[in-house]
């Protein structure tokens, strides 16, 4: 049941970066025998932001989340809501909620019993708000968890979490294995019913395309290090893709792209970081890269 406690513990205009630092990591290291899951990771997360922590399998995403939640020890400096998660975890978890794909409620428990339990142990839980959300689903209070589909269990988790007045919500692959309707409903509910300028959301996911439109910030992690930290606004100004005809490929390469890949009809797509916009416009059609394309370019060679 302890795991269950921690699991419960239209797009709005995105707010500007807050002045308060919610998470601050400096030189974060986590060793497992001869390997380092975290290898000197540095990053900051500010209030009122939706941050995507994105990396390939084994990059250190889950280890970073466990450190933030006080679930593993580490070396280096880490402050979450002004607290040390190693020493102040009980106080920290009053302000933090966590949803993971592996989070489970006991299969024998009824929905209303789960809500009763959370209402009895969490001082910041709003039962009425939880029940209002569940009214919009097909879940009823007499159902047991074993009778719910995976999507309905995630809806139950989400209803409980959104009814807790927490300052930080951590989501670790929250929609893994759900169909597209449940995934879209999950993120829509998150924006409409939970997020505001006083809350912060940290998401890890492999389904980058589905969260790109809600993110305000990106953290790319590779081999335990943060290799890119940027806001979505900065990303749009900094990174550019150009669709180049074969006769201009040579000229495109002289501008030192960070990635090159083939496209249809013999054309090539070049990705640039901070290149001169006027020079790029002479090469071909210019557009903003997707987060997925930027991620693939940054992580090339990871699986070699």
Shared domain check, 208 and 242: no
The span from the CA of 128 to the CA of 165, in Å, is 13
The span from the CA of 160 to the CA of 131, in Å, is 9
Shared domain check, 136 and 244: no
The residue range of the domain holding 270 is 235-299
Q: Helices 127-134 and 150-162, interaxial angle, to 10°?
A: 150
Shared domain check, 288 and 198: no
The span from the CA of 2 to the CA of 105, in Å, is 9
Asked if residues 76 and 27 have their Cβ atoms less than 8 Å apart, the reply is: yes
Shared domain check, 189 and 290: no
Shared domain check, 140 and 35: yes
Domain end among 169, 193, 223: 223
pTM equals: 0.85
The span from the CA of 127 to the CA of 59, in Å, is 38
In tens, the pLDDT along 192-249 reads: 888 888 899 999 987 788 888 899 999 999 999 999 999 999 998 999 999 999 999 9
Shared domain check, 247 and 164: no
Shared domain check, 260 and 171: no
Shared domain check, 95 and 58: yes
278 belongs to a structural domain: yes
The span from the CA of 295 to the CA of 304, in Å, is 16
Asked if residues 125 and 167 have their Cβ atoms less than 8 Å apart, the reply is: no
Shared domain check, 257 and 199: no
Average pLDDT score over residue span 118-126: 90
230 belongs to a structural domain: no
39 belongs to a structural domain: yes
Domain end among 223, 249, 270: 223
At 210, which CATH number?
3.40.50.300
Shared domain check, 198 and 264: no
Range scoring the smallest mean pLDDT among 11-15, 34-38, 58-62: 11-15
286 belongs to a structural domain: yes
228 belongs to a structural domain: no
290 belongs to a structural domain: yes
3-state secondary structure of 129: helix
The span from the CA of 91 to the CA of 265, in Å, is 59
Using the structure block, give the residue that is written with the tokens 């790319």: 220
Shared domain check, 104 and 67: yes
Shared domain check, 279 and 250: yes
- pLDDT at residue number 206: 78
- pLDDT at residue number 103: 57
Sheet holding 284-287, edge to edge: 259-262, 268-273, 239-244, 284-287
284 belongs to a structural domain: yes
The span from the CA of 22 to the CA of 85, in Å, is 12
* Helix, strand, coil shares, percent, the chain, to 5: 35, 30, 35
Q: Helices 111-121 and 127-134, interaxial angle, to 10°?
A: 160
Asked if residues 105 and 178 have their Cβ atoms less than 8 Å apart, the reply is: no
Using the structure block, give the residue that is written with the tokens 């489970």: 104
- List, in order, residues 6 or more apart from 278 with CB less than 8 Å away: none
Q: How many domains does the chain have?
A: 2
304 belongs to a structural domain: no
pLDDT score of 12 more than 60: no
- pLDDT at residue number 190: 84
When pLDDT is cut at 50, 70 and 90, the band that residue 182 belongs to is: confident
At 278, which CATH number?
3.30.70
- pLDDT at residue number 301: 55
Alpha carbon of 11 to those of 5, 93, 117: distances in Å?
A: 29, 28, 32
Domain end among 223, 246, 281: 223
pLDDT score of 2 more than 70: no
């Amino acid at each position: 049941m302890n795991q269950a406690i921690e699991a419960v513990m239209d797009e709005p205009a995105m707010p500007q970066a807050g002045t308060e630092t919610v998470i601050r990591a400096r030189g974060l290291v986590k060793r497992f025998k001869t390997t380092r899951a975290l290898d000197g990771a540095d990053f900051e997360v500010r209030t009122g932001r939706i941050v995507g922590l994105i990396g390939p399998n084994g990059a250190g995403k889950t280890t970073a989340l466990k450190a933030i939640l006080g679930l593993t020890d580490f070396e280096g400096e880490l402050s979450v809501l002004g607290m040390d998660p190693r020493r102040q975890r009980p106080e920290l978890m009053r302000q933090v909620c966590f949803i993971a794909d592996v989070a489970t409620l006991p299969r024998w428990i009824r929905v209303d019993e789960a809500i009763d339990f959370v209402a009895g142990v969490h001082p910041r839980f709003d039962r009425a708000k939880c029940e209002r959300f569940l009214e919009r689903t097909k879940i009823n209070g007499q159902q047991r968890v074993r009778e719910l589909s995976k999507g309905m269990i995630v809806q139950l988790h989400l209803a409980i979490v959104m009814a807790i007045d927490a300052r930080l919500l951590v989501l670790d692959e929250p929609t893994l294995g759900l169909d597209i309707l449940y995934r879209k409903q999950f993120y829509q509910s998150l924006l409409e019913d939970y997020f505001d300028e006083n809350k912060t959301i940290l998401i890890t996911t492999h389904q980058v395309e589905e969260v790109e439109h809600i993110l305000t910030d990106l953290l790319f992690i590779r081999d335990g290090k943060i290799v890119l930290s940027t806001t979505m606004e900065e990303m749009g100004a900094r990174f550019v893709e150009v669709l180049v005809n074969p006769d201009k490929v040579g000229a495109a390469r002289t501008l030192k792209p960070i990635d090159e890949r083939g496209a249809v009809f013999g054309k090539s797509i070049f990705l640039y970081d901070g290149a001169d916009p006027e020079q790029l416009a002479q090469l071909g059609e210019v557009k903003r890269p997707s987060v997925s394309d930027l991620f693939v370019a940054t992580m090339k060679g990871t699986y070699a």
